[in-house]
Amino acid sequence: MEKTTVGIFIFDRVEVLDFAGPYEVLSRARMVPGMESRWTDESAPFTVFTVARSAAPINAVGGLKVVPDYSFEQAPEIDLLVVPGGMGTRALLDDSEVLDWIRRVSAQARQTTSVCTGALLLANADLLDGHRATTHWGALDHLDSLDRDIEVDRKSRFVDDGIVTSAGVAAGIDMAFHLVEQHCGRDVANETAHYIDYPR
C-alpha cells in the first residue's frame, strides 16, 4: 500500500495539541480495524513525521521539549503539510526562510493544512489569497486585517477550500479526522475515532 507522507512543521513555542492532535489521529489511522492492527504500521495509510528548521530540540508551549524527526534540509518528500500554531508563530510571520520553505513544500505537496495560528503563516506565505480560511478565535481579527484576499470564516471548526485551515488548538483534531475521511473513507475515520476514544 502506498502511504501518504505527512510532514508536521514544529518550532519553538508551538502549541502542543496543535501538532500532537493531528499527529495522533493520522498516525493511528489503520485501513484494517481493531486493536491488533495498531501493533504494526502495515495497514497505516499515513507516514507521519515532524520537521523543523534544524534537527535541534524545540521548546513547545508549556516547556515540552521535542526532537524533530527531520530538519528542512533532511526532510523527505511531503504529500500532506500540516502547519500548526501557537505563540511561536508571531516570531515567524516575517521569517523568509520559514515562509519560503512553506511555499516550496506546499507547491510540491498534494495538500496543505494549518491548525490555529498556523493560518497566519500560510497567509504570509501567500497561500490563502482567494481562499476561505479560519484560525484561532483570538487571531481572527489579525487574519482579517492582513492586506490579502482572504474570506475569514469566524464560525467553522475547520474550512476546506483547497487549503484546509482549522480553528484553535483542539479543532486540529477535527480537521485531522476530516483528512482521514477524505483519504480513506468515513468508516476508517470513524473507526480511528473509536480507537482513540474521541466523540466525533
Catalytic residue at 184? no
Q: Which of 116, 173, 180, 193 is catalytic?
A: 116
In angstroms, the CA 134 to CA 86 distance is 15
Longest CA span, the chain:
51
**66: number of Cβ within 10 Å:** 18
Sheet holding 158-161, edge to edge: 70-71, 46-52, 4-9, 80-83, 111-115, 163-166, 158-161
Which residues are annotated as catalytic?
Answer: 116
